[in-house]
Structure 1
């Protein structure tokens, strides 16, 4: 009698990502003979498909490291992290953290943040559509009530902070053009949005990331502005709120006591 489907899957799957494990005994060929070589072919195909998925999700990282380095690094990640979703674009969410601790990538300390930007880009691309907040909606609010405003973030809006020039490195390695030498030592914060069909990645000025994070967490405008000014005395609230709305970072506004 053949094994039940669930018990077969439970026996079949664990060795797929571990080349050192023997083929499961439930895998047999004609006349009940062992089929280790057939299983190895399948195992290799699974690993290669997951590495290919990571390469598609993180093209800038692969361009920076080179294909051989990337695929070797990705193979280690695959062995540690089996997929949990049937959707391949959902795979590899932990890859940036893996890159950060990967021994052979330590000479590129900004690489993990580039990967975080690539993951944010893909998530923004697949985020739910929503109409962005119109500037006129904010203009209609009296100045005496602005401090109490609470903003609803757009489903695609994300902020990625980095101690390095990750945004510049990300942008330089996404379009296939030649890359000049980049000073990676300047910290950069990035806003990722998709108000329409195209994903937008733009730099945030000093204090801008603190401001945007506060607003996307539902904190009132006055409190967000105070936190941003604590982070940077040069923070310009008018320019920053205009930039966030223009980038489609929000969908609606309400008053905090509503």
Structure 2
């Protein structure tokens, strides 16, 4: 192992000794100085995870979250200096983390919070004006070929648990009273201006939007989705500036 690799490994593993060859300019014990530095690095990474996953932390408590995050840091060190990208594998880590098994919805809440971070940092795109969308929907000559391109920040999550209701409860009084956590939900995440928004969808609407995002025509997406309220779903996308391009050309 190279000196640099040994130093990096020791930063993330408290069981490793201070790397050999370190010295202190003021004569202080190198091992003590390194321990302080290691603690600062690990605390910074754990704090970054806490910033990205506030509801996950609320669900399990700060002590449990920080202990879990410390193990995650050891197993999944950052591979980029951009801390906004750190922690994208936390949900999968939680899935395999036995001490969290008593909170079966925890991983999906982490997935929802990760999508919120991705939506916040997604590229900008100007929405199509509502009157243009209305005109396209009213034109029978082009409707069959109409495709709607969606905002880069838009993401969908399908969960076996009430992921939206759990997340929403923790934006207010942080109680799950009255929430059936085992009632599966579909969530839509997007950025409207500078605000990241989250909505609950029924299965048909979620699948319809997924078809649109995959390039299907409007009519094709409707035909390939279970029954849902098309008008309400389109109104949601239009009102929250999620439609960024109209494309009436049939894909080759």
Fold match (TM-score > 0.5): yes
**Distance in structure 2 (CA, Å) of the matches to 1:120 and 1:127:** 10
> Which position in structure 2 is the counterpart of 1:240?
233
- SS of the aligned residue for 2:241 comes to coil
**1:75 and 2:70 matched:** yes
- Measured after TM superposition, the shift of residue 198 of structure 1 is 1.3
Q: Is this contact kept in 1: 2:149–2:246, CA < 8 A?
A: yes
Given candidates 104, 108, 113, the residue that maps to 2:108 is 113
> Which position in structure 1 is the counterpart of 2:175?
179
- Measured after TM superposition, the shift of residue 256 of structure 1 is 4.0
Q: Is this contact kept in 2: 1:193–1:248, CA < 8 A?
A: no
Runs of 4+ in structure 1 off by over 4 angstroms are: 30-34
Q: Is this contact kept in 2: 1:124–1:193, CA < 8 A?
A: yes
For structure 1, list consecutive stretches of 5 or more residues without a partner in the other structure.
Answer: 1-6
For structure 2, list consecutive stretches of 5 or more residues without a partner in the other structure.
Answer: none
> Which position in structure 2 is the counterpart of 1:122?
117
**TM-score, normalised relative to structure 1:** 0.88
- SS of the aligned residue for 1:167 comes to helix
Given candidates 192, 200, 214, the residue that maps to 2:189 is 192
> Which position in structure 1 is the counterpart of 2:161?
164
Residue-pair matches, total: 247
**Distance in structure 1 (CA, Å) of the matches to 2:118 and 2:75:** 22
**Distance in structure 2 (CA, Å) of the matches to 1:22 and 1:79:** 15
**Distance in structure 2 (CA, Å) of the matches to 1:209 and 1:135:** 21
**Distance in structure 2 (CA, Å) of the matches to 1:256 and 1:115:** 38
**TM-score, normalised relative to structure 2:** 0.90
